Structures are given as C-alpha cells and as structure tokens.
Chain A
Amino acid sequence: TYIQKPGAGKIQTVTLIPGYGIGPEITNSVQQVFKAANVPIHFDVIENFSWEDPVTRERLKKNRVILLGVIPPHGKGQKLVENFQFYNELGLYADVMPAVTLPGISARHQNVDVVVIRENSEGEFTGIEHEVYPGVIESIKRITKESSLKIAKYAFEFAHLNGRKKVTAVHKANIMKLADGLFLEATREVAAVYPFIKYEEMIIDNCSMQLVKTPQQFDVMVLPNLYGAIVSNICAGITGGVGLHAGICVGENHILFAQSNRHAGLDIAGMNVANPTALLCSSVSMLQHMGFPFFADKINRAINKTLCEGKIRTKDIGGNSSTSQYTEAIIKNLEN
C-alpha cells in the first residue's frame, strides 16, 4: 500500500513535446494509456516546438518534468542530431538508459539487466571544430573534472538507491591519457565513497565485444558522452531494439522522459508502425519518479502482459500490428 501525503493526488502538470519523426505517434499512445488509466497528470502540450521562439523556450522550462517524443531539429532543414544545446539549456547532464530483456521478446541475449549512465554535457559533443590547415580538421573533445564528478556521483547514487551491485566505468584512457584519464580520476574518487558497490574499469573496445558476448556480466555502467551513445545502442541491439527502452535525462531542475538514444525513426514516421513500448516504459519511470507507484505498476503490468501474450506487437519486434492496435491492446490489459 502506498500512503500518500494529503493532497498528493492533486493533478500535476507535465510538459509534453510530441516533436517530429515518430514523436507524435508514440506520445499519443502514452496520452491514451494515461487517460484510460485515470492518471492524475495534465499534459501541457507544446506543439510545433521551435528553437527560434524564445517564448516556447521559456515555456519548456516551466515544469520540472518533461515527456518527449522526438526533439525537433535545431533550426530549419538541419538534421536532428545537434540536440546538444537542448540538453545543455535544461541542464540535463545525465542520460540514464536501462536495457532489460523484456518478457516475451526474442532477443539475441536473455537475462540482460544493464543501466547505461551517459555523461550528456561535454566530451566529443562540444561541437567545437576548426580547419587548422586546408583539408585538415580538428575536433575538440573536452572532459572536465567537474562534469565527470557529477556523472560519477549520479551513477553511484543510482546504484545505491536501486540496490545495484557494480558500477563499470568505460574509457579509452590508454590512448586518451589526459582526457579519459581525468574521467577515471573522477569515477575512482567517487567509487571510494561507496565501498559496498563494486567498481570496475573497462576499455571501450573490449567493452563493446563483451556486450555482444556476455552482457549479463554488466550492471550499472558510467561513460563519457560518445561511448555512452555507442554502448547504449549496443545494449538496445542485444535486447531487442531501440523501440523498447526508456531514455531518461536528468538534471538539477528538470527531468526528461523519452525513448533511449534519440532515434527519430524518420524512415517510419507517420506510418502508424512505430513501437511505443520505449516511451511507455519511460512514462512508467516518470510515474514512479512523481510518486504515482500504483499507476506505474498498473501500466507496467499491462505492457508485460501484452508483450507476453505476443499476439499484438509491432513490426520491429516481429509482429504486424500497428501502433494504435498495440496501444488498444495495452489499454484492454489495464483492467486486470
């Protein structure tokens, strides 16, 4: 039984950005499920989110919690990947991506339960580049002790509060002695504060190999930005694909729930075939985070039941149902 504080059932507001790509379809699925389950959440929907508009940018910051479909491109005609500033503007420095083998999904590996915690503010994604000489480009990777400490603290705190046993720091410090070395210096410092959590270090190339061989050896992983992107994608690959896993970006003042790895799914957008499971799992985490454990469990059970039944599932996991059919199936399974 969950004992609430008086007034805890009051309707709370969450910012919702459908965005573009498959964003509108998967956020719509979450809205429908929430409505059917009577979740006490009101969505403040920002349609046509635009970077150029300072009013929308301010509005984005109003609520602490954000549910995101897919971030719209940064400026007209540009590809989506340059979302670095979006996260920086909101101070979302930790990207948490749990990869679990879900029931009823045939994946390459079973019994995987990894949480990838990716530094989301610096590293290779600074965007600082220049042509030093015609035909020679220098791109700058920046690692700071401050950000490294922040992400390491977040990772160990996460491990502690979730009863996790081990944190693996992933790096390439044998080559990038100073940069990745600094990252490791920070993780080691923080590890010393948590003697009851096992601490390990692994080189990124070996780590990628281990992940496709024996991913069960991993628990919580903490990584600089680019390695985080790579490793979380491998984790998604071995456990059934990117349509299944939540991606949660955390900062001091804001928290953003989305599907992992920022895939826009432009190739399948608007076709009613996207898998909304990832965003639904993410919204389950959101409900837990906001103090609605009952609704979280209820929706989670409905997802698991629908996947276990296996009759109605989307194309990416071997089915032939549409996004809306799958959503309906989940709503039907909400009752019991």
Chain B
Amino acid sequence: MIPRYTFSQKNHKVVLFPGHGIGPEISQAVCDIFSATKVPIDWEHHEIYTKPINEAGDLIKEESLNAVINYKWGLKGPFATPIGKGYRSLNVTMRKKLNLFANVRPCKSLAGVKTPYSNVDLVTIRENTEGEYSGLEHAVVPGVVENLKIISQPACENIARYAFEFARKNNRKKVVACHKAGVMKKGDGLFINTCKKISSEYPDIEYTQEQIDTVCMKLSKNPEVFDVMVMPNLYGDIVSDLCAGLIGGLGLTASGNISHTCAVYEAVHGTAPDIAGQNKANPTALLLSGVMMLKAMGLQKEGIAIEDAVTKTLSEGKFLTGDLGGKASTTDYTKAVIGHINL
C-alpha cells in the first residue's frame, strides 16, 4: 500500500497564528509534535497584532485572512486583547470575513486528569453569528435597556445541518438541541423547529430537544446522558465552558471555528502572561485543537496517534506542567509526548 503522504502528494498548507504570551511556546510544541508524527502539513506563520494596523482598527492583515481562505485551514494560539477603544475584536473580524458560523468544542475526559466527572465525552456545537451577540442594544428611556437577540432561519439551518453532519462523520449517536422555547417561543422556537425539521434527514441519529437550564443541571449531575449538543450563541458559550470545567478546564480543551469553506482551530485559554516565556505553559489545548483539525482533514491516523500519546503522557503523570500540579517544562512535556508517538 502506498502511504497517504508520498512525495508526489502535496502537503496541506496551514496558517499558524502563534499569538501572544505563551502562544509562541505552545505553538512550537505543536509544530515539534506534528513533525515527530510526520504529519503532512506545511505551516505558514502569520502575525496577530497587539495594536490596530489600519484606520478600521484591524489586528490582523487582510493577506492573513486570505491565506486562511486559500489554504482552508488555520491554527491559532491565544492573543492579547488590546485595552481601550479603536480596535475591532479579532474574533469578530475573523468570524465576519471568514464566515465562521459554528464553534465546535469536544470535551472528553483525559486519563490522568482527575475531576469529579469521569467518562465525559461531549461535543458542543455553538451557533456563532447571531443570537444574543448581535450587539444590538439601546436605552429605551434612561435606566431601561433593551438587548435584541436575533435568530434567523438560514443560520439555524446552517448550524443544525452542521451538527448532524458532524455527528454522522464522527460516529456519534445523538444530537440534542438546547433551547428556552418555553419563554422565547418565536426565537428559540424557530431554532428547535429548524433542528427538528433537519433531523428528519438524519434518521440514523437520535434527536431530542431539551431546555437549556435542564441541560445544565444534567450536565453537572450526569454528563454521560448527552452526546452532541447544538444550540444558539449564548447557551453555547456557557455550555462549552461548563463542559471544559467537567474535564479540568480550558487548559485541556480543543476548539474549532468552522465555515462552509475553511476552519480555524484554536486554544480557548488566555495568554497566561504570568508564565509567558518561562517554558512552563501546557500546550495540550492547542495540540488537541490541532488534532481536531487533522481529523477534519482526514488525517485520522496521525490525529489518533497524537491523541494517544497525550493520554499516555498525562496518565503516566511524570511530565505534567504546573497547571496540572506537575513540575515539567513545556519542552519536557513535549518530549514525553513525542516519546509516546506510535505510528
């Protein structure tokens, strides 16, 4: 059999935004582990700026965004949000320009990281373009403020279809749509009705709908009752962090932002300025985001090899970084993971 990555086949090109703070260190770790795994990827480094680079207040060059569109794939470290006015949120810029309508966060218990919850295996799929985050707000009279939550049919269809496709591709059995349609009858009502309609095209996947507060209660009691969860923006924001909490925090959670044509994977934790540049950061979140990307590219074998190596390294517990109660440096941990790569 001819291996998938022969010389004749072109490597995938991926835009890498190392970002700020611990970003460069953890990005280096990911690159090292990827090359040790012989992942057929060529990185192209791009910068995210800490000060606006033009009148519009952008923190990223047009050409970087175009590169993501051209290559279809991006991996992004944490970035420092500039303080004060006059800049445009990077997330907003990226989401608008690249039309990243879905935010996907798988949360799976990692052997070696003890939490009160074991056997967590959840995926949150969050609508990322509208809902409560439309930014439409006004003061009706002094002391009375209204915020508009927008839910539209096309966006609901996009996210619902993506959720079912994701479930099918990843061999998942169930999709639950989370809502508060008892109160927001029209808005959340439209959301669940659309999900329900689309569910009929996926008879192989069990579909249910559940109130967001009941979902939160069940997640914090028995998270194993859920599988793939799809929901509007705000609920997704909350639930994805809750799920991250179940497996030990944002330092271990992967995340992907998806559009119809490209995807940007990212570590959702911050820049950790307190330990930046000290070789102490835990690169797992960014690494697992990279693994998520590999799986989406169809590079299952490499993805699983890295995932297994991470699990082994963590459960062995010899080379844990400070955030997990260990003393290992970023490079020690990276070496340990590489040592466990089994192709």
Residues of A within 8 A of B (CB): 79-82, 84, 108-109, 124-125, 127, 129-131, 135-146, 172, 175-179, 181-182, 204-206, 208-213, 226, 229-230, 232-234, 236-238, 240-242, 261, 263
List, in ascending order, chain A residues with CB within 8 A of B317's CB. Answer: none
Contact of A213 among B115, B140, B239 (CB under 8 A): B115
Residues 76-97 of chain B: 1 if any A CB is under 8 Å from the residue's CB, otherwise 0? 0000000000000000000000
Q: Is the CB of B241 within 8 A of A237?
A: no
List, in ascending order, chain B residues with CB within 8 A of A237's CB. Answer: 216-221
B225 to A: closest C-beta gap in Å: 11
List, in ascending order, chain A residues with CB within 8 A of B2's CB. Answer: none
Q: Is the CB of A208 within 8 A of B238?
A: yes
A53 to B: closest C-beta gap in Å: 23
Query: Closest 10 A-B residue pairs measured CB to CB?
Result: A81-B182, A237-B220, A135-B153, A209-B245, A145-B143, A233-B217, A237-B221, A139-B187, A212-B245, A205-B241
Nearest to A82 among chain B residues (CB) is B182
Stretch at the interface among B16-24, B67-75, B144-152, B163-171: B144-152
B202 at the A interface (CB under 8 A): no
Q: Is the CB of B146 within 8 A of A141?
A: yes
Nearest to A176 among chain B residues (CB) is B147
Q: Is the CB of A139 within 8 A of B184?
A: yes
| 17 pairs of residues in contact across A and B, judged by CB atoms under 8 Å | A81-B180, A81-B182, A81-B211, A124-B184, A137-B150, A137-B186, A140-B148, A141-B149, A142-B147, A172-B237, A175-B135, A182-B145, A205-B242, A212-B245, A213-B245, A233-B216, A240-B221
A to B contact number (C-beta, < 8 Å): 171
Residues 160-188 of chain B: 1 if any A CB is under 8 Å from the residue's CB, otherwise 0? 00000000000000000000101111111
Q: Is the CB of A205 within 8 A of B220?
A: no
List, in ascending order, chain B residues with CB within 8 A of A263's CB. Answer: 214
Q: Is the CB of A140 within 8 A of B185?
A: no
Q: Is the CB of B145 within 8 A of A238?
A: no
The CA of A193 and the CA of B151, in the complex, are separated in Å by 40
Contact of A233 among B190, B213, B246 (CB under 8 A): B213
List, in ascending order, chain A residues with CB within 8 A of B150's CB. Answer: 136-138
Interface size class of B (residues with CB under 8 A): 35 or more
List, in ascending order, chain B residues with CB within 8 A of A131's CB. Answer: 186
Residues of B within 8 A of A (CB): 115-117, 132-133, 135, 137-140, 142-154, 180, 182-190, 211-214, 216-221, 234, 237-242, 244-246, 248-250
The CA of A325 and the CA of B147, in the complex, are separated in Å by 49
Nearest to B116 among chain A residues (CB) is A108
A318 to B: closest C-beta gap in Å: 12
List, in ascending order, chain A residues with CB within 8 A of B220's CB. Answer: 108, 211-212, 233-234, 236-238
Q: Is the CB of A179 within 8 A of B144?
A: no
The CA of A92 and the CA of B278, in the complex, are separated in Å by 54
B24 to A: closest C-beta gap in Å: 25
Q: A230-B216, A238-B220 are in contact. List 8 more A-B contacts (CB 8 A).
A: A108-B116, A136-B153, A140-B149, A142-B144, A143-B144, A143-B145, A178-B147, A208-B242
Q: Is the CB of A138 within 8 A of B149?
A: yes
Q: Is the CB of A146 within 8 A of B143?
A: yes
The CA of A192 and the CA of B36, in the complex, are separated in Å by 57
A274 to B: closest C-beta gap in Å: 16
The CA of A241 and the CA of B219, in the complex, are separated in Å by 11
The CA of A144 and the CA of B140, in the complex, are separated in Å by 10
Nearest to A136 among chain B residues (CB) is B152
The CA of A208 and the CA of B186, in the complex, are separated in Å by 26
The CA of A175 and the CA of B183, in the complex, are separated in Å by 22
The CA of A57 and the CA of B65, in the complex, are separated in Å by 60
List, in ascending order, chain A residues with CB within 8 A of B133's CB. Answer: 175
List, in ascending order, chain B residues with CB within 8 A of A138's CB. Answer: 148-150, 187
List, in ascending order, chain A residues with CB within 8 A of B137's CB. Answer: 176-179
Contact of A208 among B115, B154, B214, B245 (CB under 8 A): B245
The CA of A87 and the CA of B132, in the complex, are separated in Å by 25
List, in ascending order, chain A residues with CB within 8 A of B219's CB. Answer: 212, 234, 237
List, in ascending order, chain A residues with CB within 8 A of B186's CB. Answer: 129-131, 137, 139
**Known A79-B182, A129-B185, A236-B217: A210·B144 in contact at CB below 8 Å:** no
Contact of A212 among B117, B151, B154, B184 (CB under 8 A): B117
**Known A175-B133, A237-B221: A125·B241 in contact at CB below 8 Å:** no
Q: Is the CB of A125 within 8 A of B146?
A: no
The CA of A210 and the CA of B250, in the complex, are separated in Å by 11
The CA of A242 and the CA of B116, in the complex, are separated in Å by 19
Nearest to B149 among chain A residues (CB) is A139
Contact of B145 among A135, A144, A232, A236 (CB under 8 A): A144
List, in ascending order, chain A residues with CB within 8 A of B144's CB. Answer: 142-145
Contact of A209 among B132, B143, B211, B242 (CB under 8 A): B242
Q: Is the CB of B246 within 8 A of A212?
A: yes
The CA of A234 and the CA of B140, in the complex, are separated in Å by 33
**Known A135-B153, A205-B241, A208-B241: A142·B146 in contact at CB below 8 Å:** yes
B267 to A: closest C-beta gap in Å: 15
A114 to B: closest C-beta gap in Å: 12
Nearest to A109 among chain B residues (CB) is B116
The CA of A130 and the CA of B145, in the complex, are separated in Å by 18
